[in-house]
Structure 1
Amino acid sequence: MSRRFPIESRGRRKKLYEFGCVTGICCTCFLIRSFVIILSAFDKNADPDVMDHSLLNLIYYTLVEIVP
């Protein structure tokens, strides 16, 4: 998509910035999720559903699964 814009155009810079932001957000969310899964793999007391409250589980899975 960015090939249509000239190299030094404002639109191309804006799209590349937007792409970088989305990539950073997705990478951060998936790293958080992988950290939790790794933690649960090595610690038998740690469960990915560490929060006993269903609302907190909903918030956790919304942030690391659905938002990205």
Structure 2
Amino acid sequence: MADFQYEIVEQLGILSESPKGWTKEFNKISWNGGVPKYDIRDWAPEHEKMGKGVTLTDEEAKKLAELLGNVL
């Protein structure tokens, strides 16, 4: 598996926390030095490990907010 780099540019919020201390977070992350994108994924307590997640462009995040506004 190829190495990759990431930088959490902005921590926007914690959605939930597991009994083992992992948190599902909504952040803005730069992957491999690219333009920061919105990201939802599970993180170990000190961000030393991560689970699989979903990364969204600005346009996709706006559309998701619109869709959530229609169902909530």
The interval holding the TM-score normalised by the smaller chain is under 0.3
**Bigger Rg, which one:** 1
| Larger RCO, structure (CA 8 Å, separation 6 or more) | 1
The two structures have a TM-score, normalised by structure 1, of 0.27
Q: Select the structure that is richer in strand.
A: 2
Q: Select the structure that is richer in helix.
A: 1
